[in-house]
Amino acid sequence: MSAYTDLEARFRRLGAVEEAIAVLHWDAAAMMPAGGAAARAEQLATLRGIAHQLLAAPEIADLLAAAEAEKPDLGLWQQANLREMRRRWRHAAAVPGDLVEALSRAKSQAEAVWRTARPADDFALALPGLERVLDLTREMAAAKAEAFGTTPYEALLDQYEPGGSTALIDRLFDKISGFLPGLLDAALARQAARPVPLVPPGPFPIALQRRAALALMERIGFDFAHGRLDESGHPFCGGVPDDVRLTTRYDEADFAKALMGTLHETGHALYQRGLPAEWRLQPVGGWRGMAVHESQSLFLEMQVCRSRAFAGFAAPLLREIFGGVGEAWDADALYRRQIYVEPGPIRVEADEITYPAHVILRYRLERAMLAGDLLPRDLPGAWAEGLQQLIGVTPRSDREGCLQDIHWYDGAWGYFPTYTLGALIAAQLFAAAREALPGLSEQIGRGEFAPLFDWLRAHVHGKGSLLSTADLVLDATGAPLGTAAFEAHLRRRYLE
């Protein structure tokens, strides 16, 4: 056995452990009874400890060095796999195993408390868990920063966006911050000059909402032999490529909230399902990073499912399922509701124009907390002040503010910027797809999605982690990642 094939065998075993962690984590959020939280925390901590031991084993370093000597004899995918093996090993080797298990327990405990604190609007209840997670995250970030020769924030960012830098994020976010306020004002003024779109009367039974979601997911191409849809307090996509688990949350007063959230998560799910099967359980076969992952959810939700063409396809289906009567169920009314601009406090319900402001706020706050410039106990006030400055909205409660997202309580520090990076990538990808697929809008209007997702699988999904994010975007779109396509998309949809 060569050093490289030995590494493949070890990473295959590691991958299986990580897949078990993913399914247990989904179950904790969607199906597990509250009384199982303590036991689940121990299970996850133990499995994460085992995964860390497998990855940080002393012999891995020797095998990686030996495999480098074999590199000229390896194929392109194998060489990329070796690169990703080394990146993942560096993350593990920088952190002691006891810290990994301690942070896992803290995350599980904080997340479980958050699920009670959020509906109760009780930030004081969630605060100790948040502080504990932040303390351990700081410790991990410092260890990785020293090993990588980078900043603590960038060391965390690399877990979600390999090679990501605050310099790039700041440059892109500054450009967005430059054109977004004027675009928002213009869009609101244009919208005010038109009648408010008709809204169909509720309530909308959850059973019918689920039926509508399943019908659209199936038509778009989701494979229910390899996945399922459930409910959770915070919508997400989990599981593994051959067993994709989606969750949503329903509101009987507004069916569009769950529907658009479900379609967002379906974008994530289709990406996971489209990853290269021949490289399952190997680092190169996994998703490139969360910026690309988020680009796929936003590609489907924002670029496709909030388009006028999609409204033309979906409106008759929704009218039939809900038994709708009247103009409120027409395609034009549906489309105008889906692009209605209304600054509000909730990120996952934000319109396409104000959404980046929600991400920029969280990016600034998490960097400040990680650096010690903002104490968690002062987060509610800083949150309210920051959101007011960005979009003129103040949360009415912590439930609408710093309790609305699960991410920090679940230990996902350095994750938030990937949402807006994903929006930029999605806009570039959709512009490239329109060039490559003449008649794309007409296909979407007829409910024909196969050509579009064949293109995505060829240019994004099937690439796994073969390329860096920058090279993936350049290869698929012919241009480096920027803000031009995103700005053009917003102006075309909301101002023209």
User: What is the maximum span of the chain, computed from C-alpha positions, in angstroms?
Assistant: 71
- CA 461/CA 127 separation, integer angstroms: 39
Contacts of 312 (CB under 8 A, 6+ apart): 331, 335, 445
What is the pairing mode between strands 237-240 and 227-231? unpaired
CA atoms within 13 A on the CB side of 186: 13
- CA 330/CA 200 separation, integer angstroms: 10
Which of these is catalytic: 111, 265, 366, 400? Answer: 265
With CA atoms as reference, report the closest residue to 49 among 1, 105, 6: 105
Q: Are 485 and 421 in contact (CB under 8 A)?
A: no
* 265: annotated active-site residue: yes
Cα 50 to chain centroid, rounded: 26
3-state per-residue secondary structure call for the chain: CCHHHHHHHHHHHHHHHHHHHHHHHHHHHHCCCHHHHHHHHHHHHHHHHHHHHHHHCHHHHHHHHHHHHHHHHCCHHHHHHHHHHHHHHHHHHCCCHHHHHHHHHHHHHHHHHHHHHHHHCCHHHHHHHHHHHHHHHHHHHHHHHHHHCCCHHHHHHHHHCCCCCHHHHHHHHHHHHHHHHHHHHHHHHHHHCCCCCCCCCCCCCHHHHHHHHHHHHHHHCCCHHHEEEEECCCCCEEEECCEEEEEECCCCCCHHHHHHHHHHHHHHHHHHHHCCHHHCCCHHHCCCCHHHHHHHHHHHHHHHCCCHHHHHHHHHHHHHHHCCCCHHHCHHHHHHHHCCCCCCCCHHHCCCCCHHHHHHHHHHHHHHHHHCCCCHHHHHHHHHHHHHHHHCCCCCCCCCCCCCCCCCCCCCCCCCHHHHHHHHHHHHHHHHHHHHCCCHHHHHHCCCCHHHHHHHHHHCHHHCCCCCHHHHHHHHHCCCCCCHHHHHHHHHHHCC
Catalytic residues: 265
